[in-house]
Amino acid sequence: MTTLKIPDLGGPSQVEIIEILVSAGDSVEAEQALIVLETDKATMEIPAETAGVIKSLSVKVGDKVSSGDVFGELDSDASGTEENAAEEKNAENAPAAEQKTMEVPVKSAVESTSPQSAEPAAVDIVIPDLGGSEQVEVIEVQVSAGDEIDAEQTVLVLESDKASMEIPAGQAGTIVSLAVAVGAKVSAGDLMLTLQPKAALSTKTEIAKTPPKKTETAESEVAAASEPQRAAPDTVTSSSTPQGEVHAGPAVRKLAREFGVELALVKGNGPKHRITKDDIQHYVKQRLSAASSTVQTGAGIPTVPVVDFAKFGPVSESPLNNIKRATARAMTTAWLNVPQVTQFDQADITDLENYRKQQNDRYARQGIKFSIVPFVLKAIAKTLEDFPVFNASLSADGEKLILKQYVHIGVAVDTPKGLLVPVIRDVNQKSVTQITQELTDKAELARLGKLPLTDMQGGCFSLSSLGGIGGTAFTPIVNPPEVAILGLSKASMQPVWDGSAFVPRLMLPLSLSYDHRVVDGAEAARFGQRLVMYLQDLRDVLM
Ligand code: CAO
């Protein structure tokens, strides 16, 4: 029989028990959390030192405990397995110093800044078994030296001719150095990176350090989950805390992560509205029953039926590459979240086209060739300045607009691997020549698969030009959190009535899709008209 004692808490005394995770009769494993304590600075789990069966617990939620206090008894013989017996024996025979290390995690959890925390040695992480494939190309490196990563976080994306795969480090820690770069070919066993592992104690430290209110973790969890939550039809009355406050211990957070539950939406029934494991389980049950009743009533998003196409004729399979999968996810997110409308217009670009041709002749010797796109970008930038609501994003809670003081525009580029959207920054401050050169360079890098991720971030508005290919109009999909996108179709000569006769004019079809939560139809029509005006006479952009 082992007495369960509160280990050295490294200073604080009379610490409140906020959760009891086990009951008498429960079998527990060594290191399994038994109770959760919380000071005003930290939350910490008290684990079992050995496996066994809980005989009794002498504390309850709300009790205050200090280092050395007894909180129960554990029958360590009752766990039965040889492994446990051996572990216990080892524990008994272990020198005092070794046994003491079991207390260290808790101590460190409190003394988070303790300089004595032992750092484990850096380890080399190799490419795992790739299912037989060899010399597989690295198409993405998602981390850099110095990054702190989770065990499951993707480090590399590999792509063979059959599939693309994401490779995690398998261990949490800080990256000391990376041994591979985009374009490298790797096989199982090759060195991927050197990692300074996150010590068991520092993992606990981080969790325990998390203050109960408005933590970074809590806020990022809210932000990260807000998109999918908006996507799902919320048929359950959720008890979300709109302020984004999440009050839960590490064990509960772990359980929530395992279920994919967004903690901000779970009502906490524990002390101080703390979320308990029971709350998570209850929430999951509610969601599941809501989902099944949704299907029965026909509301919500019905699933696409699974069809065995081979029944109807020969088929082959072609896996989607990473870019196509990312596009599929982004398009679904956009489609489900943004109530969008498309406004069509036509701009008379006859004069602009003549001007473009003149400039092409003029700049030919410098090797610069202007297409219509950079002129349109310039006209868009001015229109965005005139209509700031189009250069804005809706805040995560949908309560306010975030108006951007910069004008960065994403341009959809068709590449052999799929759609990429390089962002041209500060379009309002650049000349058409600068925009042409930047777009040419970035489109080229995108097509070669070498466009840095940072060059695809920060866009306020997007342009999708299909004019080089054809079509008379289309409905581009808004790329949230942007609120609008302009589609260009192929310009063509049209007979236009000038008041006394039909005259041939080069007309450019414009398709403006916008987020109707942010932009009203009248505003969109005005935006379209202003853009048409600038394209008809780009001199107005200067005014
Ligand atoms: N009307 C008539 N002709 C047009 C035109 C338009 N709206 N837009 C382009 N053209 C002409 C160009 O002037 C060029 O002709 P010349 O060689 O005779 O001058 C030719 O078509 C080829 O243009 P382009 O499309 O290759 O080049 P661009 O600068 O106009 O566009 C870029 C650059 C990057 C936008 C384009 O190459 C591209 O990738 N477009 C596809 C974008 C896409 O896939 N969008 C869909 C996203 S949603 O799935």
**Banded model confidence at residue 462, pLDDT cuts 50, 70, 90:** very high
For residues 9 and 66, the answer to whether their CB atoms sit within 8 Å is yes
Between 31-35, 69-73, 215-219, 515-519, the lowest mean confidence (pLDDT) is in 215-219
| Nearest-atom index, ligand 1, CA of 490 | 1
**Ligand 1 near 412 CB (within 6 A):** yes
Kindly give the distance from the C-alpha atom of residue 530 to the centroid of ligand 1, in angstroms, as a whole number.
23
Residue position matching structure tokens 């203050």 = 211
Distance CA 368, CA 437 (A): 8
**Banded model confidence at residue 165, pLDDT cuts 50, 70, 90:** confident
Element (H, E) at 354: helix 350-363
**Banded model confidence at residue 212, pLDDT cuts 50, 70, 90:** very low
pLDDT for 290-306, tens place per residue?
A: 665 555 556 678 888 88
Kindly give the distance from the C-alpha atom of residue 373 to the centroid of ligand 1, in angstroms, as a whole number.
7
| Nearest-atom index, ligand 1, CA of 476 | 48
Burial 463-495 (b: 16+ CB within 10 A, else e): bbbbbeeeeebbebbbbbbbbbbbbbbebeeee
Residue nearest to atom 37 of ligand 1 (CA): 413
Total Cβ atoms within 10 A of residue 10: 17
For residues 36 and 19, the answer to whether their CB atoms sit within 8 Å is yes
Chain CA centroid to CA 449, Å = 21
Q: Once rounded to an integer, what is the mean pLDDT over residues 112-121?
A: 50
| Nearest-atom index, ligand 1, CA of 412 | 42
**Banded model confidence at residue 494, pLDDT cuts 50, 70, 90:** very high
Q: Return contacts of 426-431, CB within 8 angstroms, 24+ apart.
A: 427/377, 427/378, 427/380, 427/381, 428/381, 428/382, 428/384, 428/385
**Banded model confidence at residue 283, pLDDT cuts 50, 70, 90:** confident
Q: What is the predicted pLDDT for the residue at 162?
A: 55
Q: Is it the case that residue 89 has pLDDT exceeding 70?
A: no
Kindly give the distance from the C-alpha atom of residue 531 to the centroid of ligand 1, in angstroms, as a whole number.
19
**Ligand 1 near 491 CB (within 6 A):** yes
- Backbone φ, ψ for residue 517 (5° rounding): -75, -30
Q: What is the pLDDT of the chain when averaged over all its residues? A: 81
Q: What is the predicted pLDDT for the residue at 293?
A: 55
Ligand 1, pocket-test mutation among 332, 340, 369, 371, most atoms within 8 A of CB: 371
Q: What is the predicted pLDDT for the residue at 251?
A: 74
Residue 258 CB-density burial (10 A; 0-12 exposed, 13-18 middle, 19+ buried): exposed
pTM (whole model) above 0.75: no
Distance CA 44, CA 18 (A): 10
For residues 54 and 28, the answer to whether their CB atoms sit within 8 Å is yes
**Banded model confidence at residue 498, pLDDT cuts 50, 70, 90:** very high
* Rounded-to-5 percentages of helix, strand, coil across the chain: 35, 25, 40
Beta-bridge partners for 141: 156
| Nearest-atom index, ligand 1, CA of 360 | 19
Q: Once rounded to an integer, what is the mean pLDDT over residues 252-256?
A: 82
Kindly give the distance from the C-alpha atom of residue 524 to the centroid of ligand 1, in angstroms, as a whole number.
24
pLDDT for 189-203, tens place per residue?
A: 899 999 998 864 333
Q: Once rounded to an integer, what is the mean pLDDT over residues 532-542?
A: 93
**Active site annotation includes 273:** no
Burial 36-72 (b: 16+ CB within 10 A, else e): bbbbeebbbbbbbbbbbbbbebebeeebebebebebb
Through-space distance between the first and last CA atoms of the chain, rounded to whole angstroms: 86
Most confidently predicted of 94-103, 109-118, 135-144, 213-222: 135-144
Element (H, E) at 228: helix 216-231
pLDDT for 401-449, tens place per residue?
A: 999 999 999 999 999 999 999 999 999 999 999 999 999 999 999 999 9
Q: Is it the case that residue 106 has pLDDT exceeding 80?
A: no
Q: Among 166, 458, 183, 441, which residue's Cα sits nearest to residue 326?
A: 166
Q: Is it the case that residue 542 has pLDDT exceeding 90?
A: no
**Ligand 1 near 419 CB (within 6 A):** yes
Greater model confidence, 274 or 222: 274
Q: Once rounded to an integer, what is the mean pLDDT over residues 388-395?
A: 97
Q: Once rounded to an integer, what is the mean pLDDT over residues 394-402?
A: 94
Kindly give the distance from the C-alpha atom of residue 441 to the centroid of ligand 1, in angstroms, as a whole number.
15
Return the DSSP state at 101.
Answer: G
**Banded model confidence at residue 245, pLDDT cuts 50, 70, 90:** low
Return the DSSP state at 351.
Answer: H
